Amino acid sequence: MPHDHPYLNNLTPLRGIAALWVASYHFQISFFHPHMTRLLEKGYVMVDMFFIMSGFIMRHVYGDYFREQIGGKSMEKFMVARFARVYPLHLFTLIVLVAITAYTGEWSIVNDPSAISTNIFLLQSFGIEKLSTWNRASWSISAEWAAYIAFPFLSILIGHRRRLAYFLLPSLIIMAYIALLYLLAPKGIGNARRLELHMLDVSYDYGFLRGIAGFCLGMLVYELYAIPRIREYFGTDIIAVVFIAATLYYMYIDSNDLLLILTFVGVILSFAANSGHLHRLCSLKLPQFLGKVSYSVYLIQGLVLYLVTQLLGWFGSKEVAFSPNIFILFAYLSLLVGLSSITYYGVENPCRNFINRNFR
């Protein structure tokens, strides 16, 4: 696959921040009673930042690859590369959870044996199950895979019918977000108040629509980034500070999630274009490392939460609630990052390299 475009290293730490934020959100709702802060209560929207960044990066790296046509070889190489990126660690976490459940005998509506095939075939965001099952965070991998399948066709549309794409895609994105926030009632037994609260916390039922909408938005955001004047405008530190502050403010006041989608666009553009103090901060080893292991952080958080619950159960009741404490959260995140580095170097990276080396 061609990789002629420069690496956007500023976005690497942003992936790490988003992954840790989602992990903090899940830790809070599991263990902090009362909750720590509304900044964490809105952590589910960081998944939308992932989707937007994914569309942005795919357009940056592979946009020219499907500009003229979708050939069998080009499609095969692209899909193998994306499969190598997302599937091995997903399968690993699924196998571990199934093995643990089989050993303990703790089958449940979440650890449902009939839902194993749904997870294997990356269908867990299409409303097949009544709620998120097994590695519950992996619903977004299902949505991401659906976006990957659509990407070559979207690239052809933008490359050959640019005016049509610039009219059609924004219209469909807006319709998708409005439907998720106001029209599409939740299926199954999860998140019954989502429409009432106008939340984008959509996963097992219409998660694929949420993922594709964010991915398409990311592709369009990259079209803005490709304009030199836009890059110059968003490349200053002050613009980055403005959008970061707006994001934190809207999360804190529990605003409509659509406002956060808009600020995410500004944050991603600011990070991607910045060459000032923010760029120097993002280039440090720790932020780059956190971004590197971000996919492992995101996917194994369910395993680590299960491990923490079991450890607490050995020392007392399994129904443990912590008073909100920044040090407890930091200890959890440190454990998560440490274990994620093991799965990154032991599973994610070697499997990706093996697949790319032997099947591309």
Rg of the chain taking only CA atoms, in angstroms: 20
Q: Is 257 helix (H, G, I), strand (E, B) or coil?
A: helix
Q: In Å, how far from its chain's centre is CA 136? A: 13
Residue 124 has pLDDT above 50, yes or no: yes
Which residue in this structure is represented by tokens 């500070």? 241
Between 348 and 160, where is the model more confident? 348
Residue 245 has pLDDT above 50, yes or no: yes
Digit-coded pLDDT (tens) for 281-323: 999 999 999 999 999 999 999 999 888 887 776 655 555 666 6
Q: Which of 93-107, 125-139, 275-289, 321-335 has the lowest mean pLDDT?
A: 321-335
Digit-coded pLDDT (tens) for 254-269: 889 999 999 999 999 9
Which residue in this structure is represented by tokens 């699924």? 94
The residue-averaged pLDDT of 69-80 equals 77
Which residue in this structure is represented by tokens 């949420």? 210
Alpha helices in 207-325 (DSSP H): 207-225, 228-234, 237-252, 257-273, 277-282, 285-292, 294-314
Quick one: pLDDT at residue 317? 54
Quick one: pLDDT at residue 158? 87
* Token pair for 160: 């050959």
| Residue 135 dihedral angles phi and psi, to the nearest 5° | -75, 95
**CA 219-223-227 angle, 5° bins:** 155
* Token pair for 287: 């932020």
* Token pair for 165: 């794409």
Quick one: pLDDT at residue 61? 87
Quick one: pLDDT at residue 39? 87
pTM: 0.91
Q: How far apart are CA 80 and CA 112, in angstroms?
A: 29
Residue 1 has pLDDT above 70, yes or no: no
Q: Residues 109, 114, 118, 121: what is their CA dihedral angle, to the nearest 10 degrees? A: 140
Q: How many residues does the chain have?
A: 360
Tell me the C-alpha to C-alpha distance, in Å, between residue 290 and each of 340, 344, 347. Answer: 10, 11, 17
Domain residue spans in the chain?
11-359
